[in-house]
Structure 1
């Protein structure tokens, strides 16, 4: 039986392609933005200064990450502050752990069955 968090992760990617967290994670610039945000909230200007792409490109990547549920934004005065969206990140983590858990179980079963076979 699948866990609730795995089902939530699968639903997270349904609908428009831009809302798919795995599509969002497919771009190295977006992965770098997530890495920058793991250290805490950052305004778009600070993110853009750390990236090798233009500020408008950073804004487009942030929009896609937001649509995928991986980041959230908050207005503070005239600035937009971005941070990791815990629920979206946990859903992706649960999905990947579910896949790895199933694969690890199958690997263990194959290894056990192989070691029990009589040698010829």
Structure 2
């Protein structure tokens, strides 16, 4: 089983819990953006956008580089991969449970067919 740093995972999921931050990550998935670009789709000040960016940075989801007076951000996909790996455990759990349910329903339907019943 993969071991996760619980505190770091808390930061990642906290960062992902906000729609604005998820939108910023989606924008960064296609390439670097400056803070103004990241703030543009939202009705917020640059200071508010910067607070969201700091949350993403503290979770390790983005890296910020200062180029003169411009702050350029880029996606760091590592923590997303770790979160995905953690969630995959539960995906397997639910897939197994749903497969069992499907088998039970098929068996029930097959029993009804053998008895001449229809549903």
Q: Normalising by structure 1, report the TM-score.
A: 0.77
Larger Rg: 2
Q: Residue 83 of structure 1: SS of its match in structure 2?
A: strand
- Structure 1 residues 51-70: aligned runs within 5 Å: 51-70=42-61
Gaps of 5+ in 2: none
Task: Determine the C-alpha separation between the residues in 1 that align with 2:25 and 2:84.
Answer: 14
Given candidates 32, 55, 71, the residue that maps to 1:41 is: 32
Q: Residue 13 of structure 1: SS of its match in structure 2?
A: helix
Given candidates 8, 11, 30, the residue that maps to 1:12 is: 8
Deviations 1:8-49 (A, max 9, x none): 3756325xxxxx211211111111111211111111122122
Gaps of 5+ in 1: 15-19
Deviations 1:57-77 (A, max 9, x none): 000000001111221212223
Cα pair 2:63 2:74 within 8 Å, conserved: yes
Tell me what 1:25 maps to. 16
Count of residues paired in the alignment: 111
Cα pair 2:64 2:73 within 8 Å, conserved: yes
1:107 shift after superposition: 1.1
Which is bigger in relative contact order (C-alpha 8 A, separation at least 6)? 1
Cα pair 1:66 1:72 within 8 Å, conserved: yes
Q: Normalising by structure 2, report the TM-score.
A: 0.77
RMSD of aligned residue pairs (Cα, Å):
2.1
Given candidates 95, 102, 108, the residue that maps to 2:99 is: 108
Q: Which runs of 4+ in 1 moved over 6 A?
A: none
